[in-house]
Amino acid sequence: MTCFVSSLTPRQGRFSAYGTTVLGESGGIVVSTINQLEHCSGVERAAALARQQRQAVLISRTLRIDAVDPLDFFAAGTDSYGGERGVLADPGEMLTLVGVGVCDRIDVQTSSRSRFTTVEKEWNRRLERLVTEGPFIKGAGPLLMGGFAFDPEQPGSNTWKTHLSASFVLPKYLLTVRKDGCWLTANRWIAPDENETEIARIWEQEQAELLQRASQSLRDKGPATWEVEEVAPQRWKETVRQSAADIRAGILRKVVLARELRLKAAHPFVPEAVLSQLRREQTNNYLFAMERGNSCFVGATPERLVKRDGDQLLSACMASTIRRSEDPDEDRQLKEQLMQDAKNREEHAAVVSMIRAVFQRECESVEIPDAPTLYTVRNMHHLFTPVTGYTRSDTTLLSMVGHLHPTPAMGGFPQADATAMIREREGMDRGWFAGPVGWIDRNGDGEFVVAIRSGVLRDKCAFLFAGCGIVGDSDPESEYEETKIKFQPMLSALKGAGEE
Ligand SMILES: C=C(O[C@H]1C=CC=C(C(=O)O)[C@@H]1O)C(=O)O
Ligand SMILES: [Mg+2]
């Protein structure tokens, strides 16, 4: 069937009818006589529009599908889309996103703070030429998945050469899994000279292949043993001692210092096996994986940076840590100790005061409890204070990411001094470790988490990272022990991934 667009009027705003949305800013494209296209598919409408406009149009089609396990879908993408896959799942798996393949990407390699707004502008520019088909489902349809490096001014290392200072992907195929169902979105740019029938045929074939493979749930195992190199632990402890002394001298209030473990195995690490193990072990955490070529950055973090849902913004202050015990009595004592401990309360308070200040500046209203509660994950307890705000009209998700990152749970306080100290003293490229990773949809809603409890998998090597909030009372030996606890989630998942 051929579709004709009889007239297109540039108009401000958004138009939506018959399951088709065409977004246009002033001078952009809006279908004013959409009625004539009512009987056409989204691909046909997009192709007609592309011909009429003589420029490419983005089509995004969402279909409801039968239940599929997100990690089976991720694994199913290995052959055709290996190196171009991403996963984001929230705690309790209320929403899981798996993207495979690249329809479009926004990569920014800059050392300036503008990387957040650049991604936002580029995304909005693409949305000006969007046609959608299918139901509007939160977490489905056209959306970007990606992340930001912790500090773009840090000199880049070999470990992170694949993960740029900002890198986002509009997936070719996106699986959305929620408690109320599963959806598959296909995204594609259609050029004026492309044939819609051919595109529809390729879509059907590729989707059928992906879903067929996912139903076979074939997942490889990873290695179960490896050699570990602990990078400069003595030097790290000395840096902690020096930084605590500087904090006591009033140079700054808090700094987070991280260190690295390097693993070398006889066989390649397998991202889907590691993810599957993390999902099993690290409930109460966000799961994430971002592949770029031969490297996969993967982890399970408890820490939300910011979520936007309409005019509501949610953040969380999560800092201060104590180990867990298998003995319930001892575990209870440890929890009490964490709640009472002055050093840990100070570590946490620095995070609350910074996030509160940003929210008070950027929101109409803010709600923050007076005292922290406990947040328990498999290997440790944290102090936790949730933050809720209601946005002003000009507050966007990525502007909030830019204002908040790095919070004093990842950087320190004051922000600029702490980031400079990390750059100077840590002696390591954090890459995306402790940076924001997440997703943003066409309405500007989405969620970013802080990518800790994580590592880079590259063939037979894995690079793991963990850090600690240093305050005046910090003791180098106990901070070192704390990083050992924070390496546990990844070490355990890597091990389990080899034994499945
Ligand atoms: C930087 C990390 O944790 C942060 C988040 C929670 C608790 C922290 C702490 O108690 O030091 C850290 O600020 C990490 O896990 O690598
Ligand atoms: Mg700590």
pLDDT for 350 beyond 90: yes
Q: d(Cα 44, Cα 1) in Å, to the nearest integer?
A: 8
Q: Please, which residues have CB within 8 angstroms of residue 328's CB and are 6 or more apart in sequence?
A: none
494 Cβ below 6 A of ligand 1? no
Same domain, yes or no, for 176 and 31? yes
pLDDT band at 220 (very low <50, low <70, confident <90, very high): confident
Q: Whose CA is nearest to atom 7 of ligand 1?
A: 319
The CATH number given to whatever domain includes residue 360 is 3.60.120.10
**Do the domain assignments include residue 281?**
yes
469 Cβ below 6 A of ligand 1? yes
Q: Name the one residue in this structure whose structure tokens are 């964490």.
A: 338
Same domain, yes or no, for 460 and 317? yes
Same domain, yes or no, for 240 and 372? yes
CA atoms within 13 A on the CB side of 472: 11
Averaged over 338-361, what is the pLDDT? 97
What is the domain range of residue 376? 226-288+301-499
Residue 450 pLDDT: 98
**In contact, 218 and 453? CB cutoff 8 Å:** no
Averaged over 333-358, what is the pLDDT? 97
Q: Please, which residues have CB within 8 angstroms of residue 485's CB and are 6 or more apart in sequence?
A: 321, 323, 379, 380
Same domain, yes or no, for 71 and 180? yes
Same domain, yes or no, for 284 and 206? no
Q: Whose CA is nearest to atom 1 of ligand 1?
A: 467
**Do the domain assignments include residue 4?**
no
pLDDT for 34 beyond 90: no
The model's pTM is 0.94
Averaged over 341-359, what is the pLDDT? 97
Count of structural domains within the chain: 2
pLDDT band at 208 (very low <50, low <70, confident <90, very high): very high
Same domain, yes or no, for 264 and 406? yes
Same domain, yes or no, for 336 and 461? yes
**Do the domain assignments include residue 293?**
no
411 Cβ below 6 A of ligand 1? no
User: Which mutation among 324, 379, 485, 486 tests ligand 1's pocket best, with the greatest number of atoms within 8 A of CB?
Assistant: 486
Averaged over 141-159, what is the pLDDT? 95
Same domain, yes or no, for 183 and 278? no
Residue 38 pLDDT: 62
Same domain, yes or no, for 244 and 182? no
Averaged over 285-291, what is the pLDDT? 98
Ligand nearest to the CA of 466: 1
User: Is the backbone of residue 278 left (phi > 0), alpha (psi -120 to 50) or beta?
Assistant: alpha
**Do the domain assignments include residue 410?**
yes
User: Is the backbone of residue 156 left (phi > 0), alpha (psi -120 to 50) or beta?
Assistant: beta
Of 40-44, 303-307, 433-437, 468-472, the one with minimum mean pLDDT is 40-44
Q: Name the one residue in this structure whose structure tokens are 């913004």.
A: 313
Specify the amino acid at residue 312.
Q
**Do the domain assignments include residue 268?**
yes
**Do the domain assignments include residue 7?**
no
Q: What is the pLDDT of residues 154-186, one digit of tens each?
A: 888 999 999 999 999 999 999 999 999 999 999
Provide the 10 A C-beta neighbour count for residue 201.
11
Same domain, yes or no, for 239 and 193? no
Same domain, yes or no, for 307 and 430? yes
**Do the domain assignments include residue 104?**
yes
Q: Whose CA is nearest to atom 6 of ligand 1?
A: 319
pLDDT band at 18 (very low <50, low <70, confident <90, very high): very low
Q: What is the pLDDT of residues 429-463, one digit of tens each?
A: 999 999 999 999 999 999 999 999 999 999 999 99
Share of the chain above pLDDT 70, in %: 92
Q: What is the pLDDT of residues 8-17, one digit of tens each?
A: 333 333 333 3
Query: Final residue of a domain: which of 216, 251, 279?
Result: 216
pLDDT band at 32 (very low <50, low <70, confident <90, very high): very low
pLDDT band at 393 (very low <50, low <70, confident <90, very high): confident
Share in percent of the chain as helix, strand, coil (round to 5): 35, 35, 30
Q: Whose CA is nearest to atom 8 of ligand 1?
A: 319
Residue 216 pLDDT: 87
Q: d(Cα 229, Cα 181) in Å, to the nearest integer?
A: 44
Share of the chain above pLDDT 90, in %: 87
**Do the domain assignments include residue 6?**
no
Q: Over the chain, what is the mean pLDDT?
A: 92
Q: Is omega for the bond preceding 171 within 30 degrees of 0, making it cis? A: no
Ligand nearest to the CA of 412: 1
Residue 347 pLDDT: 96
Same domain, yes or no, for 212 and 230? no
Query: Final residue of a domain: which of 174, 189, 216?
Result: 216
Query: Final residue of a domain: which of 159, 191, 216?
Result: 216
Residues tagged active-site: 254, 303
**In contact, 492 and 500? CB cutoff 8 Å:** no
Residue 336 pLDDT: 98
Residue 219 pLDDT: 75
Ligand nearest to the CA of 304: 1
